[in-house]
Amino acid sequence: MALPDGSSSCLISALFDSFPIGRLTSIGVPNGFWTGGYGSFRDGVAFLTNAQLFDNSGTAVGAVQLVVNIPIAQITYVV
């Protein structure tokens, strides 16, 4: 999978290599961020478990999701 600038997603996936499974992780997306347990990163998609979506003001949106798939193209930051 190539990013918009033509680079490989391998660089991004390497950032997740040190994350232990279950680590509390927040992943930013254009309209807010997801917080949940780190599941894995595979084929250009980050997986969070028991994840809650928050809008940019920090207000929870909807219910906790058992598994969330976040495509690399939507990731704006990772904490």
Q: pLDDT: is 13 or 29 the higher one?
A: 29
pLDDT-derived band at 5 (thresholds 50, 70, 90) equals low
Has residue 5 been placed in a domain? no
Average pLDDT over residues 9-13: 62
pLDDT digits (tens, 9 = 90+) for 26-72: 999 999 999 999 999 888 899 999 999 999 999 999 999 999 999 98
Domain-embedded: residue 53:
yes
Residue 1 lies in a domain: no
Expressed as residue numbers, the domain containing 69 is: 10-78
For residue 69, being part of any structural domain is answered with yes
Question: Which strands form 24-29's sheet, in the order they lie side by side?
Answer: 60-71, 45-55, 32-42, 24-29, 77-78
Give the count of domains, the chain: 1
Is 49 within the bounds of a domain? yes
Q: Where residue 67 sits, what CATH number does that domain have?
A: 2.30.30.100
At 1, is the secondary structure helix, strand, or coil? coil
| 20 falls within a domain | yes
